[in-house]
Amino acid sequence: MDQMPKVQIYHNPACGTSRNTLALIRNTGIEPEVIEYLITPPSKDQLIKMIQDSGLSVRDVLRKNVDAYTELNLDDANWTNEQLLDAMLEHPILINRPLVVTDLGTRLCRPSEVVLDILPLPQLKAFAKEDGEVIIDEQGRRLK
């Protein structure tokens, strides 16, 4: 029997984009490893690897519209990547989400349909985001 592909999602259930991304993963028939990163943050090494594998910079993965970003004055260009990583691990809300890891790559899935580029299995049925936007048709084809 074939083994189901491994997919991890660093998830925040309070985030619509994260919920839509998780639903798109499940729409392939895959049940991913769901890591609620606010409860169980990645290790520093895991975070560095995800950032490197995604092709993004540390600042690209830094969430800006949260109180901790303002309170810590993280928009100051003098913060080093090492310091930013430490801040993200101390305050996991600063890690932008959802980050998804598959054998095909790692992506920050904003918007949620970015996940389609790294899913190893096709969509099984039509899919609409929580806001009603249809992004997968009845034949499982991507519309945008």
Residue with tokens 């092709």: 55
- Whether residues 81 and 118 share a domain: the answer is no
Q: What is the mean pLDDT of residues 20-42?
A: 97
In-domain check, residue 114: yes
What pLDDT, in 10s, does the model give residues 85-129?
999 999 999 999 999 999 999 999 999 999 999 999 999 999 999
Q: Annotated catalytic residue: which of 5, 15, 63, 122?
A: 15
DSSP structure class, residue 36: E
In-domain check, residue 109: yes
- Whether residues 3 and 71 share a domain: the answer is no
- Stated pTM of the model: 0.94
Residue range of the domain that includes 60: 52-95
Task: Count how many domains the chain has.
Answer: 2
In-domain check, residue 91: yes
- Whether residues 17 and 87 share a domain: the answer is no
In-domain check, residue 79: yes
User: Residues 69, 90: contact at Cβ < 8 Å?
Assistant: no
DSSP structure class, residue 109: -
Give the end-to-end CA distance of the chain in Å, rounded to a whole number.
34
Is 15 labeled as catalytic in the residue annotation? yes
